[in-house]
Every structure is written in structure tokens, then in C-alpha cells.
Amino acid sequence: MRNLIVFLARHYFFLLFLLLQIVSLTLVVNHNYFQKAAAVSASNALNGSMYATRNEITQYFDLKDQNIQLSEMNAILLGQLKTAYLDYDTASTMVTDSIHRLRYSYIAAQVIDNTVSLRNNYIVLNRGALQGVKVDMGVITPGGVVGIVREVSDNFCVVMSLLHKDSKVSASVKKDGTFGQLSWDYTNYREGVMTDLPTHSKIAKGDTLVTSGLGDAFPAGIPVGTVMTFEKPAGEKTYSVRVQFTTDFRKLHHVYIVRDLMRDEIIQLKEKAGMGNAE
């Protein structure tokens, strides 16, 4: 017993170090999705309001950028109005009541915290459960994909950016519809890779890539990037494509959270079909 006390007294510093290090590393290792969510939401109430305050100040700095983005967005939306299409039928006007098949609605949100230079980046938005945000919803800008909601508090949500080790988005080549997996390999924040693209795809440099609509988070046809280069790695049966993202993650201000109105129906159907929670 005395020896033990002597031992402890002599090596207390190293033992304390060992103890603290074990605590830290346990936190890291057990850092699976649920623990992460708990930690993030614990800091949300404090950090969220702090981020919001900072945003109040800093959002004026890039007002010009924001205006340009918003007017570009308006141009895209105006192009989708009925008046933008040539009306061939002069005799009668057909009114399409599209409400009954409305599938997606969007929640406008502002970015209040965002990083692009870490290996795993997260974005904080100023919309939360009270505004109808739920976990696993997609986040887009009209120009591109941003990420997926991972954690929600009352008034804020944390989005796993496309710039994240675990981010995977199903993307397809716009002109022929073949699809692959888009992810980020951490070379810089404007570029990513698309893998698993079948070799019969008639892909070419400069082709536009859009979301495929597979998976629950994003509607089909949202641009994600353009093809920079592509190659067929030796011994594989698929292309590996280097992609330039259309979203400039450093200049994110106004984004839209995608609410899939038929999500519950799809999930129930999948469960019935025994597909479990297909992610």
C-alpha cells in the first residue's frame, strides 16, 4: 500500500496526463454520429446565438456579393415562370394546377457559420425545428448542392457540408443520365471526385453534373458541378471523374432547405418493402 502511494506520488504527473489523454481519446473514438450530435447540440444554444450576433455584424461586409447572388437566383427563377415559355396554343390557355403534385417545398435560411478549410466541415443555419427543419433534409442553393442537415435545435441547424469526409451525393451526367457518387477528397474547396460512373457513359470534359434524385435528400436536376478531367483507373470498371463544384462554399449566404412533402410516404413504402432505412 505504501509502495503504491510512493509510486503515485512519484509519477502523478504522467498518470494525470494518461488519465486526461484517455478521457480525450475516448471522446474521439466514441465519436460516432449520436455522440457527436449530443455534443454539438449542447454547444448549440450558446454558440448559435453567438454566431447569430457575429453574423449581424459581418453580413454587411459582403452585401455586394449577396446581392449579385440573389439577382442571379431571380434570373433563374424568372426563367422557370410560365411566361418565359413560348405559348404555341393560341386558341385556349391551359392552366396547370400543380398543387396536387407538389413534392418539394423550400425553407429559406441564412448561413451563420461555415468553414471550408478543415477536413470535415460543418455549416450552421439560422433555421431549426420551430421552422420545420428536420434531420436528413438536403440543403441547396439554386446554383448547387450544399449539404445535409445533421442536427437540429429549436432555432438553428447544423449541416454536414459537401466538404466532409462522410459526404456522398448521388450525381448524374446531365446529357445521358448515367450516375455515380460524388464526394470530396480534400484537395481544395472547389473540387471533388465522382466515382462509380459506368464506362458506357458518354462523358466529356465540361459536361454538367446534376443531382440524380436517388436518395431522399435532393430533388433531381440540381446542378452540382462540371467535369474537369476523367480517367479509368487500371483494373477498375468505372470512371473516376474530377469535378469542379458549382457551389462556391466560401461565399455561401442564402441557402434553401429542401422539404420533401412525400418523404414519410417513401420511408413507409421502403419499410413495407423490407428495405429498412435505406440511406
Partner 1 sequence: MLNELVKHGLRFIGLILVQGLILKNMEVGFMINPFLYVLFVILLPFELPAWIGLILAFLLGFFVDLFYGTMGMHMAACTLMGWARPAVLRFMMPRDGYEFGQQPTMQDMGRMWFLSYAAILIFIHHFLLFYIEIFSFREVGMTLLRILISTIATLLLVVVTQFLFYRAPQRT
The residues that touch partner 1, with contacts defined as CB under 8 A, are: 12-14, 16-17, 20-21, 23-29, 31, 35-36, 39-40, 42-43, 46-47, 50-51, 54, 113-120, 122, 158, 186, 188-189, 250
- 410516404: which residue's cell? 265
Q: Is 28 exposed, middle or buried (0-12, 13-18, 19+ CB in 10 A)?
A: exposed
Q: Which is nearer to partner 1, 10 or 205 (CB)?
A: 10
In the complex, minimum distance from the CB of residue 159 to partner 1, in angstroms, rounded to a whole number: 12
φ/ψ of residue 22, rounded to 5? -65, -40
- Comparing CB distances to partner 1, the nearer of 24 and 105 is 24
Nearer to partner 1, 38 or 108 (CB): 38
159 CB contacts (<8 Å, ≥6 apart)?
A: 122, 123, 124, 125, 139, 146, 147, 148, 149, 150
Beta bridge partner(s), residue 144 = 141
Phi then psi for residue 2, to 5 deg, are -65, -40
Rounded distance between C-alpha atoms, residue 153 and residue 40, angstroms = 10
Provide the minimum distance between the beta carbon of 164 and partner 1 in the complex, in angstroms, as a whole number: 12
- Min dist CB 77 to partner 1, Å, is 29
Q: For partner 1, which is the closer residue by CB, 104 or 186?
A: 186
The three grid cell numbers given for residue 190, joined into one nine-digit string:
472547389
* Smallest gap from residue 231 Cβ to partner 1 (A): 19
CB 158, min distance to partner 1, A: 7
Q: Give 54 or 175: the residue with its C-beta nearer to partner 1.
A: 54
